């Protein structure tokens, strides 16, 4: 006789939210707000929009509480909602994506880099971010979830609502594109 699979802590919290425990929703919000905002920012490249979209995601989660089933990790479900929300925002022609020079001017953390090293690092970071930003939307989402959120193929496939083999294909194509675009950084041509 097999036992039921263990439900992750976040899913347990969400099940309690489904039953009316508001404090568990606040706990979920506190646990995941920062990672969600960072993920959304990397998707839409607009800090204000990322904040607004994170609120929208949590609102959608709250509104869906009565239908929640703990069939997957909570974070998989949350990132699925976040991905759809970000992709819809990106496709909405009313929004103009504001790209600020501040992103390119951010310095890579280093103890005491020289001015030249800060400039070189800033250019590298800006090029990497631009290359990721220029990927097709689903490839970008897969890369961000894989590299920045540490999600595995199964979690990403759940979030993007596709097969694991489709995720592997998305990531393969994305990483090939990034390698080609950023080869000069590896060679040191900057």
- Domains (range + CATH), the chain: 9-91 (1.10.1740.10), 103-187 (1.10.10.10)
Q: Note down pLDDT in tens along the chain; length 190 residues.
A: 444 456 789 999 999 999 999 999 999 999 999 999 999 998 888 888 999 999 999 999 999 999 988 887 899 899 999 999 998 888 874 444 444 444 444 444 445 666 767 776 777 778 888 888 889 988 999 988 888 888 889 889 888 889 999 999 999 998 898 888 888 776 655 5
Q: What pTM was estimated for this model as a whole?
A: 0.61
* φ, ψ of residue 169 in degrees (nearest 5): -65, -45
d(CA 2, CA 102): 55
């Amino acid at each position: 006789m097999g036992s039921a699979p263990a439900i992750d802590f976040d899913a347990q919290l969400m099940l309690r939210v489904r039953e009316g425990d508001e404090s568990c929703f606040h706990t979920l919000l506190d646990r995941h707000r920062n990672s969600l905002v960072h993920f959304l920012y990397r998707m839409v490249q607009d800090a204000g929009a990322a904040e607004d979209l994170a609120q929208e995601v949590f609102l959608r989660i709250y509104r869906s509480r009565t239908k929640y089933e703990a069939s997957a990790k909570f974070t998989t479900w949350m990132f699925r909602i976040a991905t759809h929300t970000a992709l819809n925002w990106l496709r909405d022609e009313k929004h103009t994506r504001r790209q600020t020079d501040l992103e390119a001017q951010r310095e890579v953390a280093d103890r005491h880099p020289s001015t030249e090293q800060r400039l070189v690092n800033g250019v590298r970071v800006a090029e990497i971010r631009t290359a990721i930003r220029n990927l097709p939307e689903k490839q970008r989402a897969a890369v961000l979830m894989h590299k920045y959120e540490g999600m595995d193929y199964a979690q990403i496939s759940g979030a993007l609502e596709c097969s694991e083999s489709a995720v592997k294909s998305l990531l393969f194509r994305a990483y090939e594109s990034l390698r080609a675009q950023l080869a000069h950084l590896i060679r040191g041509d900057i």
